[in-house]
Amino acid sequence: MGAQLRVYRQKIKSAQTTKKITRAMELISASRIQKAQARVAASTPYSRAVTRAVSAVATYSNVEHVLTTEPEKIERAAVVIFASDRGLAGAFSSQVLREAESLSELLRGQGKEIVYFLVGRKAIAYFNFRNRASERIWTGGTDQPQFETAKEIGEALLETFLTDYADGGVDEIHIVYNRFVSMVTQVPEVVRLLPLEVVEGVEEPGDNKVLPLYEFEPDVETVLDSLLPVYIESRLFNAMLQSAASEHASRQKAMKSASDNADKLITDYTRLSNNARQSEITQQISEIVGGADALSSAKK
Amino acid sequence: MAKSLSVSVVSADQQVWTGEVTMVVAKTVEGEIGILAGHEPMLAILAAGDVRLTLADGSKVLAQAEDGFLSVDNDVITIVARKAELVGSK
């Protein structure tokens, strides 16, 4: 067998093995998207209920709370980045990191210091490679987020938020994550988590109705105190679930195009190797014919 | 027949129970509270303990809602907790 032919056969084989892997990953992601989407849907009643409750407090009372009041001067901001643990998901992690970078630029332009909270190994690798510091990191389970993790992140964020600037606290918190729009579109999104701006889902009291008397038990401050952390957690958990669904969708897309590319490579190399084999045979025939000719002419 | 209340019990990752009831008895940090249809809008923090839902046919559903709150608004009651589960009915 000619050397050329052997090289082509090797390349075909390697493309075939790669294709097997990417195909398997594609199928796995495809089946997990459904689950991830179902989890987003299942957590919706909770976040809706929490949002409505917070809106109710915000609408029917005039309490000033430390989490909702805008600080006079924002000196330091925290940015929470939700990336993935594993790569091979197309632009998933890089687009969220790019979004975070442009947000950082904006915040720095406003004269704010920035501290980072990272979720997912890819974000951490990105920061380590550039020798940049981060405040806290969480890894593991970005593709199947647990509520406990959201709770932990929420607590850590609240603690930093409630600390004074002089002691290393922050005055505002942004989160950057991939929002799941559809199977083909995932948009990186920036949301300011704290101080809170609760506007969505407020049920406007009708024009002719008097503002209903809302009763808070034990009192407004206590209700807000326990409600707002819950609200933050639910926002974080929602971001994590969205990000997980996006991760699967974007991995499926990336793996599908990888499998398609492998297919194309295999076809191309098969053609080339057929060519090589054919020219080898042609060469052999002409050698035999040439040899026979030489022999028969020598006999004469 | 009294008007009914529509109740939903939700936890962080799913909707636990939803339906029409005639009375809700819950334990808030201030003490036990019973809610019938027509109750004024309210938001209360729940203490650890069971929430008893009485259905129209007199049967009861017990739900455990830890670390949550209860909101009443126009006869719609939402019981929200990080962890909520049904513990049985009788």
Torsion of CA A257, A260, A265, A267, to 10 degrees: -170
Structural domain boundaries enclosing B47 = 5-79
Flag the least confident range among A72-76, A199-203, B64-68: A199-203
Query: Would B87 be classed as within a structural domain?
Result: no
Whether A252 has a pLDDT exceeding 90, the answer reads yes
Q: Could you tell me which of B70, B58, B21, B15 has the C-alpha nearest to residue A44?
A: B15
CA angle, corner A121, sides to A115 and A127, nearest 5?
40
A106-129 per-position pLDDT tens digit: 999 998 999 999 999 999 999 999
Q: Residue A290, Cβ neighbours under 10 Å: how many?
A: 10
Residues of chain B in contact with residue A43, where contact means CB-CB under 8 angstroms, are 12-14
Query: Would A158 be classed as within a structural domain?
Result: yes
Q: How many domains does chain A have?
A: 1
Residues of chain A in contact with residue B71, where contact means CB-CB under 8 angstroms, are 49, 52-53, 56
Q: How many domains does chain B have?
A: 1
CATH of the domain at A176: 3.40.1380.10
Q: Do B45 and A212 touch (CB under 8 A)?
A: no
Flag the least confident range among A95-99, A275-279, B69-73: B69-73
3-state secondary structure of A170: coil
How far does the CA of residue B43 sit from the closest CA of chain A (Å)? 5
Q: Do A234 and B8 touch (CB under 8 A)?
A: no
Q: Do A49 and B11 touch (CB under 8 A)?
A: no
CATH of the domain at B26: 2.60.15.10
Residues of chain A in contact with residue B44, where contact means CB-CB under 8 angstroms, are 216-217, 223
Average pLDDT, chain A: 87
Q: Could you tell me which of A43, A31, A70 has the C-alpha nearest to residue A172?
A: A70
Q: Do A42 and B14 touch (CB under 8 A)?
A: yes
Query: Would A128 be classed as within a structural domain?
Result: yes
Query: Would A293 be classed as within a structural domain?
Result: no
Q: Could you tell me which of A277, A245, A74, A95 has the C-alpha nearest to residue A174?
A: A74
Residue A49 contacts B, CB cutoff 8 Å = yes
Query: Would B57 be classed as within a structural domain?
Result: yes
ipTM for the whole complex: 0.81
User: What gap in Å lies between CA B70 and CA A217, rounded to an integer?
Assistant: 10
pTM for the whole thing? 0.84
Which distant-in-sequence residues (6+ apart) come within 8 Å of A122 by Cβ? A83, A84, A85, A86, A87, A93, A97
Q: Which spans in chain A are helix H? A: 3-60, 92-109, 121-129, 147-162, 220-299
Residue A35 contacts B, CB cutoff 8 Å = no
A32-43 per-position pLDDT tens digit: 999 999 999 888
pLDDT score at B46: 87
Mean pLDDT score, A270-294: 94
Residues of chain A in contact with residue B24, where contact means CB-CB under 8 angstroms, are none
Query: Would A113 be classed as within a structural domain?
Result: yes
Nearest chain A Cα to B76, which residue?
A: A49
Structural domain boundaries enclosing A115 = 27-203+211-253
Q: In sequence order, what are the beta bridge partners of A154?
A: none
Give percent above pLDDT 90 in chain A. 53
Q: Do A50 and B13 touch (CB under 8 A)?
A: no
